[in-house]
Each structure stands twice: as structure tokens, then as C-alpha cells.
Amino acid sequence: MKILHLYKSFYPETKGGVPYIIQNILSIPDTNVNNEVFVTSEKINDNKSSIHYAHSYGTIFSMPISPMYMIKALKLIRKFDILFAHTPFPYANIILLMAGNHKRKVIFWHADIIKNKLLKLLINPIINLSIKKADAIIIGHEKIIETNTYLEKNSQKCYILPFPVDVEKYKANHHEKEANLIIACGRLVRYKGFSCLIEAMKDVNAILHIIGDGPEKDKLENKIRKLNIQHKVKIISNLSDDEKINYFKKASIFVFSSITEQEAYGIVQLEAMASGCAIINTNIKTAVPLIARNNYESITIEPNNATQLKDAINLLLKDTDLRLKLANAGYKRVKENFSTQIFNTKFIEIINEINSKT
């Protein structure tokens, strides 16, 4: 059984939730399933047989400028039995619509197009049609169905596949932890809420490392200087995966400060739970506060509320027992529900069920 995954970018050029999920799928050890991926790249330097590329000349509205992507895709899909459109990526939705009826078609729904309202308005008819034509839709959590009208109308097609984390890779010993070290991690964009987190740190006596890069970096660094908190707040970019994991293992508190529904799931929160961090997250209307749950694995605050965020951080710094309770509960929850092994088994089960449908 041959499966082709369609998306806009991949490792090593792009790190993030969707490439992470695709990379995990490509690593599943199953001799009966062959997973390959077709993406765009501005500098093609990896000729692995499982990774196919079309050249990109940059991006516009977060979409690759790649005239050959559609042409190459329509030739490439002939070799595959099942097509996976990883969304949001409208090119992939269009390819599903153009593929023949003999192909199985799956939409892997990672997030909605929220940021660009005009683009969403233009693309919505295509997304709706591709959902109707799809044989199945894979989502990370049942909450995601509630956030989208099209998914609600086609809920009978939806399969729940909890996103994975390599628990053993992130597992930390408590003696490695630094009690006053807080971390946050993600692309430096507005919806991640890092500006609010920096504001909260004015009245926190601890160290914060924000791991990531992106278009908001200069603005965030200017805010750090303006608040005169450079001695305790730093933005750290261009880390290798191993270096990032080491920061997670050392930190005692992880802040997941996202402020809009663009944050549909948050694999980085799972990574922090696996590394034994106490979690502070936000009450956005997605799966985020349902993965690390208030008073069980996290303290959940209202989004974009610097006062609540400051109070939550100070509480965890002061109350060691609470911090350890949340950290231990988070590790247990990840190990029992979100491990790579669970993801791999469930993925193969879903694929076999989709393929067996007449």
C-alpha cells in the first residue's frame, strides 16, 4: 500500500507541528505501508527516495510560490493508492479534487485558516468540496470537530488520532531540573502570545528562555529591552533538536501562552509534559486546554492576560508540591495517551480501515 503525503514544506527547512507529524508517519516501521511525501523547497538538498520536491520561489500569504507543484503532483499521484492532504494547505485540497475516484483520499486536519480572512473566504469552497470528496478526515482531538462547521457536517468521516511525542527522548530526571527556569517554545508570531508572557515577567523573579525564531523576533526583543528585563528573559534561536530537548529537561515550568484558535493542538505542550515540566496554558477554544487539563496537569488561564499569567508562574515557583504534582501527572498522561507507539499503532489501524472500505 503506497501513501503520498501532500504538504508545503518539510525538514530540515521547516520545523513545526505538521512536518513533525509527517516525519513521524514516514518513520513508522510497517512493511505493508510505504509512506512518501511531496513538498516544496527553496533549496533542495535531500534526495531521499521517500521525499519528493517541487521548487519554491518564496511565499505569499504563507503559501509557497511553486508553479510546478500542481503539475508534478498530478503526475506523481498516479503511483500511489492513498493521498493525504495535510491542511491548511489549499494546493493539497485542490489535488484531492483533481485525483481520480479510484484513489483513496484522506484529509489530515491540523488547523483551520484563521489568520487571513480574505484567503479563508476564497478557499473555503475548495476546502468544503474536498471534505465532501474525502474518504476520511484525521484529527488530533474531538474538540477540533466543534470548531469547524465543515467538520461537524462530516463528523462521520472523522478519525481521532492523538498526536505523538517520543516520551523516552524527552524524559528527564527531577535532579536535572532548575527550579527557577521557565521555558516557552514556538514560532515567533503574534498568536503564540509571547508578548503577553514577556509582559508578565516584569514581576517574576525567575529566568525565562523563549526558544524559537520568526517575524516577531525583533519586536519581542525590543520589548524585553524596553522593560529592562534582559537579565532574566532571553530569546534563543537556531537550536538543534538535541539542544532544544536539553532546555526542556532543565526547565521546571513550561508556558504555553497562545492567544487565538490558530493554536489547534500544540505538540510542544506534549513535549514539555514528557520532559516533566509543570504546564501553564490558555483557555482557548481548541484542544490545547484539554490535553493539559486545569488543576490536573496544568494551570489554565485566560488568553492574553498578563496578570493571570504572572500569578500562575509565581504560584508554581513558590509551591514546589503543586509544581511536582502537575509535572508528574503530565508525564503520566503523555505516556498513557500520546506516545509514538500509540500513534503508530492507531495510524496503521485507521489506514487499514480506510483501505478496506468499498
Q: Which residue has the higher pLDDT, 182 or 42?
A: 182
- Could you check whether 2-163+339-356 and 167-337 share the same CATH topology? yes
Chain segment 1-28, per-residue pLDDT in tens: 999 999 998 876 777 889 999 999 999 9
Indicate left, alpha or beta for 231 from its phi (over 0: left) and psi (-120 to 50: alpha): alpha
Which triple of cell numbers denotes residue 155? 463528523
Q: What does the pLDDT average to over 195-202?
A: 98
Q: Which residues contact 253 (CB under 8 A, 6 or more apart)?
A: 181, 182, 183, 206, 277, 278, 279, 280, 313, 316, 317, 323
Task: Return the pLDDT at 116.
Answer: 64
Residue position matching grid coordinates 481548541 = 286
**What is the reported pLDDT for 298?**
98
Q: Where are the domains of the chain?
A: 2-163+339-356, 167-337
- Average pLDDT estimate for 85-106: 92
Rounded mean pLDDT of 162-177?
92
For residues 160 and 347, is the Cβ–Cβ distance under 8 A? no
How confident is residue 160, by pLDDT bands cut at 50, 70 and 90?
Answer: very high
Domain range 167-337, CATH class:
alpha beta
Superfamily of domain 2-163+339-356: Glycogen Phosphorylase B; (3.40.50.2000)
* 53-69 per-position pLDDT tens digit: 999 988 887 788 999 99
- pLDDT the model gives residue 356: 86
Mean predicted lDDT score pLDDT of the chain: 92
